[in-house]
Amino acid sequence: MINNTYSWLDEPIATKTSILRGLKKIGQQMNADEDVLFLTLSSHGNENIIQLANPPLAMENLDAAWLREALDASGIRWRVIVVSACYSGSFIDELASPTTVVITASAADKASFGCTNTAEMTYFGQAFFAESLRGNTSFESAFKDARLRVNERESAMGFEPSEPQMVIGSLMETALPAFEQVLFDKTRPPVASIIDSDSIAINIVEDSASGQPVANTAITAN
């Protein structure tokens, strides 16, 4: 789902209604005991808020409490959620659960950088999706690598560190290695080719090995 005036005829718009309906539809198609949702959100943000602006349409912003309620209502149990926005660490408390991984581009009280209408990815998006996932076989190792890359870039440009965050739920700590083995080990060649495209956030999970499908969606706003 993309909020951009140039893609209205080609891509679905991200609203609270479309996001909720999309999550519920995905939840109906998933095996709640085995399948994992990979959800990415990238936009401008503030504390507990992701912006859903799409002028001239008037939209409500997406808040952390609402997103948690929507995820719970979908029946999706296992979740990996990446939030790339300023102050995105403020989403952690609401989204965290024993069966969830939450990755954010910044701490709760920090800005993140690179979110412009001309950029293909934010600094964190570039570091995590386009670079660190290339050579790592776990979300945690990719996150640590991305955090170093982001810190180096921000330091070189004189920006205050954004301090990306990652929280892994207690039950997910046990289940995540099996998910990662399916996602990374068995799909490494497809993932490498997908990373070179512009649709990594959407497609990287769709190529998981057969037998353990992974539901996935991505939401961006410019």
User: pLDDT of 30-65, one tens digit each?
Assistant: 999 989 999 999 888 889 888 888 778 788 889 999
**Residue 1, pLDDT score:** 83
CA 110/CA 216 separation, integer angstroms: 27
Residue 129 near residue 204, CB atoms below 8 Å: yes
Average pLDDT on 144-165 reads 94
What six digits make up the tokens of 87? Answer: 């102050």
**Residue 197, pLDDT score:** 33
pTM for this prediction = 0.81
Secondary structure (3-state) at 73: helix
Backbone angles phi, psi at 174, to 5 degrees: -80, -40
187 pLDDT band, cuts 50/70/90, is low
**Residue 12, pLDDT score:** 84
Secondary structure (3-state) at 175: helix
201 pLDDT band, cuts 50/70/90, is very low
Pairing of the two strands 2-3 and 216-221: parallel
Mean pLDDT of the chain, nearest integer: 82
